[in-house]
A and B are shown apart, each in its own frame.
Chain A
Amino acid sequence: MSVLAVLEQRAGEWNRMSFETLAAAQQLALELGVPASAAVLGGAVQALAAELAGKRFHTVYAVEHELLAEYTPDGYVLALRQLLERVKPTLVLFPHTYQVRDFLPKLAASVGRAAVCDAIAHRVEGGQPALVRQLFQGRLNADVRFSGDGPHFASLQAGAYRADSVAEGAARVEIFTPRMEAEAIRTRPGKPFRDSQRAVDLGAAESIVAVGRGIGDAGSIELVRRLADVLGAELAASRPVCDAGWLPMERQVGSSGQTVAPRMYVAVGISGAIQHLVGMKGSRTIVAINKDPHAPIFEVAGYGIVGDLFQVLPELIGAIRESQ
């Protein structure tokens, strides 16, 4: 029995979430009383693997092949299946990144398993691990227990474990070279690129008023714009508002948009899905206006009003004008 953390790198740079996965693997291994190992895949990753030699792991595997130089789901699944046969882990942990979402379900299904994705915590009872994951956009938690033989697979939500809590120690570094043929890789990835320069740099804004799904329709955005104007703030939005085309994508705050930390962030009709919170929780003063008192946005806000934004906003705009 063992726990294996599969890490993420691109072009020789760690994805920071990899260290959260390392910390989780160490904690679970400790509680299960089994060894933890780690693996990193790529064209040439020995230097990255060597960086982990001073951490408390049984083995750090540098999984190297020229066909792994660029990420493809076929290549990663092929290589990881061979690594699983070699290591025989009970539990395999991943950071819940866009890349992992692209290949983990395929890897798990290829060995007749379903991965538990985006877990936020774990428990160990009776020697078996259980993971907690969120349903209904965070409105319900489910404890999921694995049964039967491993390997079991799980990915971990950003921020669920602390990257700086990886324990020091000593690890053996081993190079693992999978057998791979170019023909087995069916997708041809292009070079990553950024879209044309962003017109709006929300990162520079002193204050931001952000609007979410609670606004209901495009026409009502005007009301939120008036609040932004009276505060001298930039107007921003959560993903669903941009998806619907009510505001342009360049005004999106969150994991797929911009990360901001202004002096004041006013969230209007935003429930506070984790993908949004990661983009704004560093703001100094956070104000939330939402009709649902249980909305997760109130966990990060310093001030809040529970109510109908269509009644609250006109009053708020008036009160700010009077105070100026």
Chain B
Amino acid sequence: MKIVVAIKQVPARDSELRIASSGKWIEEADLAYESNEADAYALEEGLRLKEKHGGEVIALCAGPPRAVQTIREALAKGADRAIHIEAEDRGFDPLATARLLAAAIASEAPDLVVAGLQSDDFGHGQTGVILAELLGLPHATIVMEVEVGNGSLRVKREMENGWFQHVEMPLPAVIAVQSGIGKLRYATLMGIKKARTKEVRRIAAADLGGVAAASDAVVERVTLPERTTRAQLFGGSPREAAAMLVEKLKFEARAI
């Protein structure tokens, strides 16, 4: 089974967000980067399917040169090889990014494409579904379990309010997995060592048709949301704050 897993590098969760002087984006100089957590679950599912059914896992990432760190992590965890589409982050435009990914995937003709639920930065939650449309493949999202049959796929997908549903479809197909689909593995020392020898194919975005804006939606400006904190906040030392809180809970809220 040939499996392509789409992965992304995103600003680290605890990065300080400051608006850039253009007002259209944040100061990137402030940011540290990490692998997108939802994609770690996509990779985990890809690796498990390979372990069960054989074949190979190809990690696919579009991003600037720094994204190689995320690619190395995927290889260290067990991906067999990787494709790095060298492109500036077009995160505002999920269709433009998906077009690049789809062009690279088409040349591999995989049996299965696995994407994560959404990215921690832009959070469109669209890449997997757009890929299915661009590649002409069936898809399912918010997938909790995957069973591979003879040329087909049966997935358990999550619906709202605790409901689930099984969906069957022919392969090749695209799935977007729910975070938590499996316990994440860590890279082993041996894995990290082996990753250095694995193939990373670099493709210039221009060779895939470029990174022209595809979307009809343009970000005009970004702002830090106004917080309307109604909470009574208790300061001082942890001991003082805890004592104040307990007093309020006991005599004002009558909650304890």
Contact = CB atoms under 8 A, between A and B. Distances in A.
Contact of B246 (A138, A146, A187, A316): A316
Nearest to A139: B17
Nearest to B219: A142
A188 B93 contact: no
B246 A299 contact: no
A288 B179 CA distance: 25
A245 B95 CA distance: 33
A163 to B, nearest CB: 16
Contact of A303 (B140, B179, B248): B248
Given A113-B216, A284-B255, A141 B180 contact: no
A296 B152 CA distance: 43
B165 A298 contact: no
B242 A97 contact: no
A112 interface: yes
Contacts of A300: 230
A249 B181 CA distance: 11
B36 interface: no
B132 interface: yes
B93 A114 contact: yes
Interface in A190-223: 190-195, 198, 207
Contact of B139 (A106, A243, A296): A106
Contacts of B93: 114
B253 A302 contact: yes
Tell me whether chain B's interface is mostly helix, strand or loop, or mixed: mixed
B160 A97 contact: yes
Contact of B179 (A137, A239, A257, A322): A239
A169 interface: no
Contacts of A34: none
Contact of A256 (B141, B158, B168, B224): B158
Contact of B222 (A117, A140, A242): A140
Contact of B238 (A148, A284, A312): A312
B124 interface: yes
B11 interface: yes
Nearest to B226: A141
What is the size category of the interface that chain B forms with chain A?
A: 35 or more
Contacts of A245: 180, 183
A125 to B, nearest CB: 9
A189 B167 contact: yes
Interface in A58-91: 73-74, 77
Interface string B89-128: 0001111101000000000000000000000111111100
Given A115-B126, A194-B163, A307-B241, A186 B232 contact: no
Given A106-B139, A190-B165, A231-B256, A315 B11 contact: no
Contacts of B69: none
Tell me whether chain A's interface is mostly helix, strand or loop, or mixed: mixed
A285 to B, nearest CB: 4
A304 interface: yes
Contacts of B165: 189-193
A318 interface: yes
Contacts of A141: 222-225
Contact of A137 (B120, B221, B223, B233): B120
Nearest to B221: A143
Nearest to B152: A188
Nearest to A154: B217
A134 B225 contact: yes
Contacts of B163: 192-194
A287 B244 CA distance: 12
B147 interface: no
A319 interface: yes
Interface string A115-146: 11110000000000011001111111111111
A235 to B, nearest CB: 16
Contact of B228 (A116, A143, A258, A299): A299
Contacts of A97: 160
A143 B219 contact: yes
Contacts of B218: 144-147
Closest 9 CB pairs of A and B: A243-B180, A190-B166, A105-B126, A315-B242, A186-B138, A105-B129, A114-B215, A114-B95, A304-B231
Interface of B: 11, 17, 26, 41, 92-96, 98, 120-126, 129-130, 132-134, 138-142, 158-160, 162-170, 179-180, 183-184, 214-225, 227-235, 238-239, 241-243, 245-250, 253, 255-256
Given A106-B130, A299-B231, 18 more contacts: A97-B160, A105-B126, A106-B129, A109-B133, A114-B217, A136-B17, A140-B224, A141-B222, A143-B219, A145-B217, A187-B138, A190-B167, A193-B164, A231-B256, A303-B232, A305-B242, A307-B241, A323-B247
12 contacts: A98-B141, A118-B123, A135-B122, A135-B222, A136-B17, A189-B167, A239-B179, A244-B184, A245-B180, A263-B255, A311-B238, A315-B238
